[in-house]
Amino acid sequence: MGRGRAPGANNRARDANRPVKWSGTLALMKSIDFGNFAKRAALVACASATAAMAFAVPASAATTLHFYANGPADWSRNCDMTTKASGTYTYYEHGPVVDGHQPYAGGFDASESDLCGDSHGAVLHLTYFKWTGTKWVPATADPIKVTTGAHHTETRSWTFKDVRDVKVSTCMIDSAGALSSCTPATFY
């Protein structure tokens, strides 16, 4: 053995200078720089995951609530329930706090039903505050109106942004468009 070398050390040193013939899969494996390959694969995986999260989820996670509202009875018209609203309400923080309040964005999937054969219709009625860019102003909307008569249901989906304090009700509506007998929705 001699001079503190391990057995076969002379052969390894001599063989390191000889060209090695690689074939098939081994040739492919030899041509890949696994150090750079692993770094690039990790970078691509990280970038892909970051992009997927950025486009799939809003800045803050969305909250989805279900709601329903059963309108009042009207025994003078033989109706144990006059209107009915139900659906889902999804919202999330939208932008920074402005004028002391957090603005929200989101959407509704809802239905409104007219359940009484009388001269009134049914309406899904919303009240909320809307950010105008300079101040919060009170606002209302009636996104679903059922005016075709009893036992008819309308369904609709819509989105919103820059609002706060959204309240949902089901109301009776007369032929002139006046709301009455509003019942606030219960969220769960």
Residues 41 and 123 in one domain: no
Residues 106 and 180 in one domain: yes
Beta strands in the chain (DSSP E): 63-70, 83-93, 104-114, 121-131, 136-146, 152-173, 179-184, 186-187
Residues 138 and 174 in one domain: yes
Whether 4 is in a domain gets the answer: no
Residues 155 and 92 in one domain: yes
Greater confidence (50 vs 81) lies with 81
The angle formed by the CA atoms of residues 62, 70 and 149, to the nearest 5 degrees, is 110
User: Does the pLDDT of residue 2 top 90, yes or no?
Assistant: no
Share of the chain above pLDDT 70, in %: 67
Whether 2 is in a domain gets the answer: no
Residues 123 and 50 in one domain: no
Residues 98 and 142 in one domain: yes
- What pLDDT, in 10s, does the model give residues 104-142? 999 999 999 998 877 789 999 999 999 999 999 999 999
**What mean pLDDT do residues 18-47 have?**
48
Residues 50 and 67 in one domain: no
pTM: 0.66
User: Does the pLDDT of residue 98 top 90, yes or no?
Assistant: yes
Whether 1 is in a domain gets the answer: no
Phi, psi of 90 (to 5 degrees): -115, 135
Residues 150 and 172 in one domain: yes
pLDDT (0 to 100) of residue 170: 95
Question: Domain range spanning residue 166?
Answer: 63-187
- What pLDDT, in 10s, does the model give residues 168-186? 999 999 888 899 999 999 9
In three-state secondary structure terms, 87 is strand
Residues 78 and 40 in one domain: no
Residues 38 and 84 in one domain: no
Q: Locate 27 and state its tokens.
A: 């040739």
Share of the chain above pLDDT 90, in %: 51
Whether 3 is in a domain gets the answer: no
Phi, psi of 49 (to 5 degrees): -65, -40
